[in-house]
Chains A and B, each alone.
Chain A
């Protein structure tokens, strides 16, 4: 299981990386926005994507839409971890095909719960 973590703040990437490691996912890579993430995803090496929304360059929302529109990537499970908390934004993310949505600030338990739910549904 290889996971790509996309967030423009290195501290947040590090927190997520540590939490994922505690959950048993130690094979992770990082990118700081959608533009950096997309070519990495296109290599086909990743099984799971954790992305922020608000980033300079390509946002998480644009990345989500781009991934869903790509024939090779469209079934990639995506968890959004973001400070964006408006109802219409969450609805928009759901409509764009996100698999899970976690609002910051979040706890390790919430992250674990959402990731497990996503895998449950995939099986």
Chain B
């Protein structure tokens, strides 16, 4: 769609109409009814012509918009395969898959590390209290020999477990590489959505010219109350820019304040 196309012939039609009305008035006042009737018929004809032209323009733009999204005529399967929308859904599906895989990998490693950490902690605490007894000379020789080998085992296990934990931590680090990949994918889908919006706005502008010529008025009042109700139960998902909005809480503290103001 280029700019010239956006200059609607509807405007020209209106100018023409204005002229014709002036002449029509003259003809009626002069009593020339035959000429007046002919002029009215011409005006109708002119309106139809303009309308055809405008609808043609709209259709062409629609085709162009679809071509921009690489949706070619053909069977449904081909259209699906060529559609950038379909591609975008696949890409977002890929983001979900990648983030889920990464989250699970991270949790696997965390769950594997936690028992190691708590083992080091528990045995360390037990040895520390034994060690304090030794410091207070409150230990028999046999107990000391036991403590000695216990410390030996603890050092072995701790060396092994902590290097395992280190390995787990660096794998957790690597599991965050999804951010780069998903970031790129989401960026591309965002660009597509912007493209689609631009094209839809252009189409809407053209369609409004058709509406103007035909005098079509659309029902815009939705049964929004019903919709709201359903939406309310459905949930809306995470809210963006919560700190800039009054109708959204910006964190748990806000939730707690709100609930306690309700008597909770």
Mark A residues whose CB is within 8 Å of B.
Answer: 9-11, 14-15, 18, 53-55, 59-62, 82-92, 94, 101-104, 106, 110
* A61/B248 in contact, CB under 8 A: no
Contact flags (1/0) for B104-138 with A, using CB distance below 8 Å?
Answer: 10010011000000000000000000000000000
* A61/B233 in contact, CB under 8 A: yes
| Number of residues on chain B facing chain A (CB within 8 A) | 26
* B237/A90 in contact, CB under 8 A: no
* A85/B259 in contact, CB under 8 A: no
- In the complex, 18 of the A-B residue pairs with CB atoms within 8 angstroms, ordered by the A residue number, are A9-B100, A10-B104, A14-B104, A18-B110, A59-B235, A61-B232, A82-B235, A85-B242, A85-B248, A85-B250, A86-B247, A86-B249, A87-B249, A94-B264, A102-B252, A103-B249, A103-B255, A110-B252
Q: How far is the CA of A82 from the CA of B234 in the complex (A)?
A: 12
Total A-B Cβ pairs within 8 A: 76
Q: Which residues does chain A contribute within 8 Å of B248, judged by CB atoms?
A: 85-87
**Interface flag for B21 (CB, 8 Å):** no
* B255/A90 in contact, CB under 8 A: yes
Q: Which residues does chain A contribute within 8 Å of B258, judged by CB atoms?
A: 87, 90-91
Shortest C-beta distance, A50 to chain B (Å), equals 15
* B255/A62 in contact, CB under 8 A: no
Q: How far is the CA of A54 from the CA of B239 in the complex (A)?
A: 13
* A59/B233 in contact, CB under 8 A: yes
Mark B residues whose CB is within 8 Å of A.
Answer: 100, 103-104, 107, 110-111, 232-239, 242, 247-252, 255, 258-259, 262, 264
* B235/A61 in contact, CB under 8 A: yes
Q: Which residues does chain B contribute within 8 Å of A91, judged by CB atoms?
A: 258, 262
Q: Name the residue on B nearest A89 (C-beta).
A: B232
Q: How far is the CA of A90 from the CA of B104 in the complex (A)?
A: 30
Partner of B103, one of A11, A62, A86: A11
Q: How far is the CA of A53 from the CA of B58 in the complex (A)?
A: 43
List of 7 A-B pairs having minimum Cβ-Cβ separation, nearest first: A54-B235, A11-B103, A83-B238, A53-B235, A85-B239, A85-B248, A61-B233
